[in-house]
Amino acid sequence: MQHKLTTPVTREDLAPLKAGDTVLLSGIVYTARDAAHKRMMELLDKGEELPFPVEGSALYYVGPTPERPGEVIGSAGPTTSGRMDAYSPRLLDLGQAVMIGKGARNQAVKEAAVRNGAVYLAALGGAGALMAACVKELEVICWEDLGCEAVRRLKVEDMPLTVILDPHGGDLYHSGPAAYLDSLN
């Protein structure tokens, strides 16, 4: 099933999603990779605010390439999400609702997604130009010294994503192969 979502999202917005569904995501999406996540944890440890509103937010694990003249963003394909596993449960518990990347997640992230009614969406790896075409506006909001890993505020329109972890404990990396093997019998 295909769903259209606009950020920020609520638990109620995400509740109908099931592993394997597709999502066309619009609204504001923040970018952050491992270096930015480490800095976010340092801020939280000091009792300071994050550089963006976390409640209902979507975080895309991407380090875009520089844009060409006339473009909003360069290639914007996902990075491996597992590098954020140590940080994601804390952010989900603070209200982050959507994680976007590629690759499997650990058990702690899966449990935090269910506990918070959040989702993990996969962006198509190797399709950085497709993902970039969905970005209509870009603003670096902090840690410009991190280069491609700086936190950016993206305005996206109909970003095509696949639900990997749903808010009910569904995991496409488990159910997908099982369904395929069943179809062979």
Q: Which residues are catalytic?
A: 37
Residue 80 per-residue DSSP state: B
Q: Which residues pair with 139 in a beta bridge?
A: 153
Q: Could you tell me if 59 and 96 are in contact, meaning their C-beta atoms sit under 8 angstroms apart?
A: yes
CA dist., res. 112 & res. 107, Å (int): 9
Q: How many CB atoms lie within 10 A of CB 19?
A: 20
How many C-alpha atoms does 51 have within 13 Å on its Cβ side? Answer: 22
Q: How many CB atoms lie within 10 A of CB 76?
A: 29
Picking from 170, 180, 174, the residue whose alpha carbon sits closest to that of residue 17 is: 170
CA dist., res. 92 & res. 167, Å (int): 12
Picking from 161, 99, 80, the residue whose alpha carbon sits closest to that of residue 124 is: 161
